[in-house]
Structure 1
Amino acid sequence: MSSGQWTTHHVVLDAATVTKRFRRGSCEGATREWRALELLARHAPGLAPVPVRADLTADEPVVVMSRLSGRPLRGLPLGDDQVGALAAAMARATEAVPRDVLAGVPPRRGHPGELIGHVRAWFPTARPHAGRVVGAAMDQGMEWLAGSGEAACRGPRLPGVFGRGDGNPANFLWDGRRVLMVDFEDSGRSDRAFELAEITEHVGSWVEEQPLDVASFLGHFDLTADESAQLVTYRRLLALVWLFLLTFDDPQAPRNPPGTAARQAARLRELLA
């Protein structure tokens, strides 16, 4: 789950390659990026950039990959073709890596347990400045978490899948026929319900003039009963996380339209109903 306030790297675009130079001390993010590129090149070729070279031990780690063509989904009209292609890309990514290989992949960053810790740490600082509408939604979300939410987030255990670690539609590229993926610095082992929930609840999926059709997108997946139940839980958790993230938006340089936090509050309340 990527937020603009957490800048972790600098990108240089050449004609054929992309170079990501990570911040000093960001070896973990660079390692996750490189591992994901290698896994997808081996098990889902063509879905993501091809890994070219990396220096993961440098003070400022570097990952070089091939450059993909395409337009980011964020800001594009998302019709049936785009939604179907996004679902196909996610299905391929989550199904591609064999389970014996996946067993050696660490959990993704921003997994549910980590997010629960974040919101609990953020609440005492964020709540006094949240305002009436956003604050009331925060209270409702935290009450849910303290009640049934945390236990629901931690079970049942679902089959592991490769998780790209970021639901931002800006990191999915439409080439006119299919959707490709970039940006894997938070990637790792996950489950399918969480990866789908992260896409549906990313602010970039609904804040644009033509938001993602969530029902259409999720309709492309044959979820088990456990996955369907966890999807609802994960969407609630991620909506709560985004409510906090939006309150941290710099009012002098906002990344989202005015009123987005209030709209997020309404979205969370609807999911909790």
Structure 2
Amino acid sequence: MQTSTHDVTIGAGEVRKQFVAGHEARAEREWACLTLLAEHAPGLAPRPLRREDGQRPVVVMSRVPGAPVAPRPLTTVETAALGVALRRMYDVPVEAVTAAGIGPRRYGADALAGVLVEWLAEDHDLEQCRDPALMADALALARAYVAAPPLPEPRLTALGIADLNPANVLLHDGEVRLVDFEDGGLSDPAYELADHVEHLGSRLPGVYDVDALAAAVGLDAGDRARTAEYRPLWAAFWLAMLLPGNGGWRRNPRGTTEAQAVHFMALAGHH
């Protein structure tokens, strides 16, 4: 399961991001994404300044202005600004993404279900939950779902940030800047939106409205339908993260796991 992957030191003009030992691939991905965005969407993300390769890889980047969005629903104006920022990123030519050596994002549309099959197969002490019977039902449904998820064919047409945790969305003078590209890569905007609206840090406080954000990004009706088809997969991801013994279980209040189970079952069509 995921744990913290880096330490960040913020200076007056630059930010030093030191990755955990063994996470060279993430540092490489961050550097490549920032380099590409500096060329094709300047100002959207920090500029990459330099790298330090020691026992723990380091990426040093420019400090961008802004404060992270608060854990509350975005205003109409803020949603529009985020849509503009995401659209700038998605409009980077896919040929440029591949030419930069940037492969698929972490936990991409082709990979996530297989990861979840392994995670959900692990034994968890559901008796620790407030409602063990509910959790047993949800876990059985999730295991069946990820074994053969009814997903649309991914369209790898854009660079995606992967992690749109509200802490990674900086607001400044009506504009949005994006930070944290260590999981980013080639992706499908419909899949990205599903990830963003299902992220526990954004979903619980209702930061992103799925319809408003899809409209702001410019997704057509077909892509909005595909976003809806991808959402149960991400709901299953967060269900896995919230199972007893996992990081999400330790970090969130009691009852969050059961609420996620109900949410997943509703999205997966089990009422």
| TM-score normalised over the length of structure 1 | 0.87
1:230 corresponds in structure 2 to: 226
Report matched runs for 1:147-166 at 5 Å.
Answer: 147=148, 149=149, 152-153=150-151, 155-166=152-163
- Counterpart secondary structure, 1:87: helix
Deviations 1:113-152, CA, capped at 9 Å, x for gaps: 32212211112224553622233222222223334x1xx4
1:16 corresponds in structure 2 to: 13
Q: Are residue 89 (structure 1) and residue 85 (structure 2) matched?
A: yes
Indicate how the Cα distance of structure 1 residues 229 and 127 shifts in structure 2: closer, same or farther if over 3 A, else same: farther
- Counterpart secondary structure, 2:139: helix
Q: Give the letter for the 2:134 counterpart.
A: V
Deviations 1:182-218, CA, capped at 9 Å, x for gaps: 001111111111111111110011212x542222222
Contact residue 156 and residue 226 of structure 1 kept, 8 A: no
Contact residue 86 and residue 217 of structure 2 kept, 8 A: no
Runs of 4+ in 1 over 6 A off after TM superposition: none
Structure-1 separation of matches of 2:174 and 2:184: 25
Q: Are residue 40 (structure 1) and residue 37 (structure 2) matched?
A: yes
| Cα drift, residue 13 of structure 1 | 1.0
- Counterpart secondary structure, 2:88: helix
Structure-2 separation of matches of 1:21 and 1:58: 10
Structure-2 separation of matches of 1:128 and 1:246: 12
Contact residue 110 and residue 154 of structure 2 kept, 8 A: no
Structure-1 separation of matches of 2:204 and 2:248: 17
Q: Are residue 214 (structure 1) and residue 210 (structure 2) matched?
A: yes
Unaligned runs of 5+ in 2: none
Q: Identity, % of aligned pairs?
A: 36
| Cα drift, residue 100 of structure 1 | 1.8
2:198 corresponds in structure 1 to: 201
Structure-2 separation of matches of 1:171 and 1:30: 17
Structure-2 separation of matches of 1:182 and 1:119: 26
Indicate how the Cα distance of structure 1 residues 128 and 117 shifts in structure 2: closer, same or farther if over 3 A, else same: farther
Deviation larger for 189-198 or 130-139: 130-139
Report matched runs for 1:1-273 at 5 Å.
Answer: 5-55=2-52, 57-95=53-91, 97-104=92-99, 105-129=102-126, 131-147=132-148, 149=149, 152-153=150-151, 155-208=152-205, 210-224=206-220, 226-247=222-243, 248-249=246-247, 254-273=250-269
Q: Give the letter for the 2:96 counterpart.
A: V
Deviations 1:46-69, CA, capped at 9 Å, x for gaps: 1101111112x4221110011122
Contact residue 37 and residue 50 of structure 1 kept, 8 A: yes
Q: Give the letter for the 2:56 counterpart.
A: E
Indicate how the Cα distance of structure 1 residues 204 and 92 shifts in structure 2: closer, same or farther if over 3 A, else same: same
Contact residue 127 and residue 135 of structure 1 kept, 8 A: no
Structure-1 separation of matches of 2:240 and 2:111: 14
